[in-house]
């Protein structure tokens, strides 16, 4: 009779260890780690709980549980994170994409599919997308995966982040429609675009030290720090947006939950119209969008 642990026992033990250590997401974290270390599916965990697990897998899981208890996010442990139904490779120079950011993808998709952007069809034909500070490429890749005729440019200040984003674009079959450029926001972009999106750094500098350790210790500060009031990146983007956003085009940015009014004011000062604040699934303000009106004589 084998002494090897079973899938069910491994999952239960992982869940107990994480819960005992005070990890709020113990159940889902345990499942994700067990699935990854054993190659089991979610269905296997239910229907094949008595399946023996190789001792090597159990030992590796113990190491991963130790790392999770120490505050390392599951995505960092596995090297990938799920976003908008796709898996994205992470890197030390990228944020881990989070579900809240899916609201930005939804706003952008809605603008295209509703015909709000003149000359752009619902499948993205005619769309020229710019993603500022792309990180893993999650936003641009997710959009291009849904808008099969669209083309885009993704920029980032970090060479390491761009390499990760290029790999993710290729992995999801949009690499031939997404170009990449190294530089800070519009400094890396040339030409005009009719949809510009960004999830820029928006955490006030003195708040970062108090963030959860999963973010504070494992996400790059460059992708978090928005300056004294958290609005530096928005000012930089809006200072130059009229040079790159086509008339009738839309700018949409992710914001912190308490920044809707401040960012909307900056949009208005930059000459954007039809400004809207959109909420995420948790009901918090998460995205501000605005349209550049057609110029009149």
- Helix (H) or strand (E) segment spanning residue 239: helix 232-240
The pLDDT tens digits of the residues spanning 171-182 come to: 999 999 999 999
Question: CA–CA separation, 80 vs 256, rounded Å?
Answer: 24
The pLDDT tens digits of the residues spanning 82-101 come to: 999 999 999 999 989 999 99
pTM of the model: 0.88
DSSP 3-state helix, strand, coil percentages of the chain (rounded to 5)? Answer: 45, 20, 35
On whether the CB atoms of residues 83 and 97 are closer than 8 A, the answer is yes
Pick the CATH number of 80-291 from 3.90.230.10, 3.40.50.150, 3.60.110.10, 3.30.413.10: 3.40.50.150
State how beta strands 86-89 and 178-182 pair: unpaired
Find residue 197's DSSP bridge partners.
131, 252
Q: What is the gyration radius of the CA atoms in the chain, in angstroms? A: 21
Question: CA–CA separation, 291 vs 247, rounded Å?
Answer: 8
DSSP state of 279: E
User: At CA 137, angle to CA 237 and CA 218, rounded to 5?
Assistant: 90
On whether the CB atoms of residues 228 and 94 are closer than 8 A, the answer is no
Among 83-87, 171-175, 195-199, 219-223, the range scoring the smallest mean pLDDT is 219-223
The pLDDT tens digits of the residues spanning 235-285 come to: 999 999 999 999 999 999 999 999 999 999 999 999 999 999 999 999 999
What is the token pair recorded at 59? 């030992």
Question: Considering Cα of 118, then 184, then 81, then 160, what sign does the dihedral take?
Answer: positive
Question: CA–CA separation, 7 vs 48, rounded Å?
Answer: 7
- Helix (H) or strand (E) segment spanning residue 32: helix 26-38
Q: What is the DSSP code string of 66-116?
A: HHHHTT--HHHHHTEEEETTEEEE--TTSPPP-GGGHHHHHHHHHHHHTT-
The pLDDT tens digits of the residues spanning 47-86 come to: 888 899 888 898 999 999 999 999 989 999 999 999 999 9
């Amino acid at each position: 009779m084998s002494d090897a642990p079973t899938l069910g026992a491994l999952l239960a033990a992982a869940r107990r260890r994480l819960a005992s250590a005070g990890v709020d997401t113990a159940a889902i974290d345990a499942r994700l780690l067990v699935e990854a270390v054993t190659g089991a599916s979610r269905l296997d965990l239910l229907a094949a709980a008595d399946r023996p697990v190789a001792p090597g897998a159990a030992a590796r899981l113990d190491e991963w549980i130790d790392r999770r208890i120490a505050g390392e996010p599951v995505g960092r442990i596995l090297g990938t994170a799920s976003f908008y139904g796709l898996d994205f490779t992470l890197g030390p120079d990228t944020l881990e994409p989070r579900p809240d950011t899916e609201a930005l993808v939804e706003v952008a998709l809605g603008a295209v599919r509703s015909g709000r952007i003149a000359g752009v069809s619902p499948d993205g034909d005619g769309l020229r997308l710019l993603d500022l500070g792309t990180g893993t490429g999650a936003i641009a890749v997710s959009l291009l995966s849904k808008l099969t005729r669209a083309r885009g440019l993704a920029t980032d200040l970090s060479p390491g982040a761009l390499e990760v984003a290029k790999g993710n674009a290729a992995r999801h079959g949009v690499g031939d429609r997404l170009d990449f450029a190294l530089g800070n926001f519009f400094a890396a972009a040339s030409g005009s675009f009719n949809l510009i999106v960004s999830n820029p750094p928006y955490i006030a500098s003195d708040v970062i030290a108090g963030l959860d350790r999963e973010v504070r210790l494992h996400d790059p500060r460059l992708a978090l720090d928005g300056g004294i009031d958290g609005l530096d990146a928005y000012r930089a983007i809006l200072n130059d947006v009229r040079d790159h956003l086509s008339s009738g085009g839309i700018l949409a940015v992710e914001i912190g939950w308490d920044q809707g009014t401040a960012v909307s004011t900056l949009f208005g000062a930059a000459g954007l119209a039809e400004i809207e604040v959109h909420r995420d699934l948790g009901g918090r303000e998460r995205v501000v969008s605005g349209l550049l009106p057609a110029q009149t004589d």
